[in-house]
Amino acid sequence: MTIEPTMGKPNQQVFSDTLLEIAKQNENILVVTSDSRGSGKLVAFGQELPQQIVEVGIAEQNLIGISAGLSAGGKKVFAVSPACFVTIRSLEQVKNDVAYSDRDVCVVGISAGVSYGLLGSTHHAIHDYAALRCINNIDIIAPADNFETEQAVRALVHHPRPAYIRLGKRPMPNLHDPESTLFEIGKAIELRQGTDVTIIAIGEPTAHAVEAADILSRQGISCRVISMHTLRPFDKAALMDAARNSRAIITVEEHSVCGGLGELCASALLQEGIRIPFKIVGFPDEYTINGDQPTLFKHYGISGEGLVATACELLETCKSQM
C-alpha cells in the first residue's frame, strides 16, 4: 500500500519514547550516556527510571568500555552518544570491547549524519557506516522514519548481539503504513514499486527517495524505492531483485560516498557479475559546505529534485547504451 507522507517526530524522540515504555516493564534495560541525555531526548527516561540510566560524562571511550562491562554483568545496554563521536572517538572500544568480545551492547548514534549541519564537520557523522562496516560482528541499522525506528528499538531489545543504530534529530515524514508493513532487522522494505529505475535508500534520505519516485511517476517513469534500513546483515536478495527487474540503480545515503551503502551495493553487484547503470548519491569526499541538513541535502543532490535529475541522467545512459 502506498501512503502519502505525513510529518512525524524526530527518530531519536521515537527511540527514547519507545525505550522508556519497554524499560518500564524490563528493569534489566540500561541506558548509558556521555552527557548526552538532553540531545538524546532521554531527560524523561532519566526522571522516570533513574536506576536505569548511567552517566559517564564526556568520555566516549569510557562510555563504550563501561557498557561492555555492564553487558558482561548481565545488563541489556543502550549506549547513547552523538554518532560523530561514538563511532570514531571510541571506535577501538566498539571493535574490541563490544564486537570482538561479543557483548550485547547497542551503540546508539544520535544527531547522526548532518543533523548538526551548521555545527560543522567536527559534528557530522558521515563516516560511521564505513567505520563500522569493516568491523566484524556488529549489526548496523539506520531507520528512515518513526515506524522503522520504533520497530527497530523493539527488535533490538530482543537482539542479544552487538548493534549500532543511527538516529537523526529532525522530524521525519511517516513513510509506512504500520498496519500492513512488517519490519525485520536485515530485511529491506519496498516503499514504491517500479521497473525503470530503483532507488535504494537508507536512513533519513529515504523520504526524498519516495518524493523522487512520486515525481518520476507523474513524468511516466516507474521508480522502485527500497528502504534498506539495515546495512548489516545486508539484504542482498532485495538488491539483486532490483537489479534484475529495473534498468538502473541509484543508492542514496546521508553519508560519505566512500564506504557506505552505495559501495556495498556496487561491490555486491559486481561480484554477482551484474553490470547496470549505477549512481551513488551521498556526500562527496570533501568537507561539506556550511549548512543545515536540508541545505546540505539539497546542495549534494540528496533531495527529491536531485534524485529525479540523477534518475533521468542514468536513464539517458541506458538509452545511449541500447
Partner 1 sequence: MNTNELLLKSIEYRKTILEIIHHGGAGHTAGSLSCVDILNVLYNKIMDITPENFDSVNRDHYIQSKGHSVEVLYTVLADQGFYPQDDLFKGLNQNHSKFIGHPTRKVPGIEHNTGALGHGLSVSVGLALAGKLNGHTYRVFTLLGDGELAEGSSWEASMSAAHYKLDNLIVIIDRNTLQITGRTEEVNGLEPLADKFTAFGYAVRQVDGNNVEALSNLLSQVPFEQGKPSLVLANTVKGKGVSYMEDQMVWHHKVPSDEQLVIALKELDTAKLELGDV
Q: Is 5 in the site for partner 1 (CB under 8 A)?
A: no
- Least distance (Å) from partner 1 to the CB of residue 249? 39
- Least distance (Å) from partner 1 to the CB of residue 27? 9
Binding test (CB under 8 A) with partner 1, winner from 3, 22, 54, 88 = 54
Q: Is 67 in the site for partner 1 (CB under 8 A)?
A: yes
DSSP secondary structure letters along 193-254:
--SSEEEEE-STTHHHHHHHHHHHHHTT--EEEEE--EEETT-HHHHHHHHHHSSEEEEEEE
Determine the Cα–Cα distance for residues 115 and 141; give it in Å rounded to an integer.
Answer: 17
Determine the Cα–Cα distance for residues 15 and 110; give it in Å rounded to an integer.
Answer: 10
Binding mask 12-31 for partner 1 (x = CB under 8 A): ------------------x-
- Least distance (Å) from partner 1 to the CB of residue 262? 31
Site for partner 1 in 204-263 (CB under 8 A): none
- Least distance (Å) from partner 1 to the CB of residue 260? 26
Q: Given the rule CB under 8 A, which of 95-103, 137-145, 194-202, 294-302 is the region that contacts partner 1?
A: 95-103
Contact 119, 163 (CB under 8 A): no
Q: Is 138 in the site for partner 1 (CB under 8 A)?
A: no
Binding test (CB under 8 A) with partner 1, winner from 102, 214, 241, 292 = 102
Which 3-state string (H, E, C) describes 52-120?
Answer: HEEECCCCHHHHHHHHHHHHHCCCEEEEEEEHHHHCCCCHHHHHHHHHHCCCCEEEEEECCECCCHHHC
Binding test (CB under 8 A) with partner 1, winner from 19, 23, 31, 70 = 70
Determine the Cα–Cα distance for residues 14 and 171; give it in Å rounded to an integer.
Answer: 10
- Least distance (Å) from partner 1 to the CB of residue 294? 36
Q: Is 87 in the site for partner 1 (CB under 8 A)?
A: no
- Which of helix, strand or coil describes residue 269? helix
Binding site for partner 1 (CB under 8 A): 30, 51, 54, 56-57, 59, 61-62, 64-75, 92-93, 96-97, 100-102
